[in-house]
């Protein structure tokens, strides 16, 4: 079997939302590279701009679509690989567990939630132009969901070959992001609080879904079926 057939088979076996996230981010990355050679920087249009500084018109200003589009852009190939590897490893599992519609809703809520948190942080700390890009906020939401669904699944911290439960892994990662964010609000180029925002909005959405599921179960359990007549469908 040719390598092309193997790769095509692996691609086709990916669930649809995971496959499309990988494809869209790849296409946007190529478009950014090609247009950049003509002096057109998509970051100024699709990246998340600081709404507190923005003039709301032209390139480099905040636009309403940016909380969505920023998560499909990346700084470079390595940035894209790191995020998309997580989408492939964990997002694929979650999509198969939940179904595509629920997974897509979750992914977008986490990504947009991360953008909202980043804008709030900028409002409190930044009085000039600022931009962030990347799927990391949504990816951190994916990691949180994976720990929620499979809390005892063993994972490894980088350079520490000791398996730990996913719930512990995610908790350690969240504490690291919080400490890094507090220590370097404006001194590095990593949106630590956006990462935490993705986790926060993922957690809130999971709680909401659990609340709605509990409500449905309670309504069903409270019904009196004693007067219903059942017939064997066979």
Place of tokens 């003039």: 55
Tally of CA atoms within 13 A in the half-sphere of 214 that contains its CB: 6
CB 73 within 8 A of CB 36: no
| Residue-level pLDDT at 4 | 65
Q: What tens-digit pLDDT sequence spans the chain (234 residues)?
A: 566 655 566 777 899 999 999 999 999 999 999 999 999 999 999 999 998 887 666 667 899 999 999 999 999 999 999 999 999 999 999 999 999 999 999 999 999 999 999 999 998 887 778 899 999 999 999 999 999 999 999 887 666 677 889 898 889 888 888 887 776 655 556 788 899 999 999 999 999 999 998 888 877 775 655 565 555 554
**DSSP H or E run through 160:** strand 160-165
| Residue-level pLDDT at 74 | 94
Cα distance between residue 34 and residue 102, in whole Å: 34
Cα distance between residue 121 and residue 46, in whole Å: 20
| Residue-level pLDDT at 191 | 83
| Residue-level pLDDT at 234 | 42
Domains along the chain with CATH numbers: 3-215 (1.20.1540.10)
φ and ψ of 64, to 5 deg: -60, -25
- What is the model's pTM? 0.86
* Structure tokens given for 135: 């799927």
| Residue-level pLDDT at 225 | 53
State whether residue 156 is helix, strand or coil. Answer: strand
């Amino acid at each position: 079997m040719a390598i092309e057939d193997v790769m095509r088979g692996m691609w086709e076996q990916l669930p649809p939302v995971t496959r499309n996230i990988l494809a869209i981010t790849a296409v946007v990355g190529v478009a950014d590279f090609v247009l950049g050679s003509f002096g057109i920087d998509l970051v100024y249009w699709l990246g998340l701009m600081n709404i507190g500084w923005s003039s709301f018109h032209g390139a480099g200003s905040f636009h309403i679509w940016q909380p969505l589009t920023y998560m499909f852009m990346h700084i470079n190939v390595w940035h894209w690989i790191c995020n998309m590897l997580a989408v492939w490893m964990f997002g694929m599992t979650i999509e198969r567990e939940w179904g595509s519609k629920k997974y897509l809703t979750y992914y977008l809520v986490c990504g947009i939630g991360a953008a909202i948190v980043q804008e709030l942080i900028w409002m409190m700390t930044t009085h000039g132009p600022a931009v962030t890009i990347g799927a990391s906020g949504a990816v951190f939401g994916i990691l949180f969901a994976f720990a929620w669904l499979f809390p005892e699944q063993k994972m490894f911290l980088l350079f520490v070959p000791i398996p730990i439960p996913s719930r512990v892994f995610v908790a350690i990662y969240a504490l690291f992001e919080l400490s890094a964010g507090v220590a370097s609000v404006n001194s590095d180029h990593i949106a630590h609080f956006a990462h935490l925002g993705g986790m926060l909005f993922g957690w809130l959405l999971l709680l909401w879904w659990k609340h709605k599921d509990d409500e449905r179960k309670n309504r069903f359990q409270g019904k009196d079926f004693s007067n219903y007549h059942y017939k064997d469908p066979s």
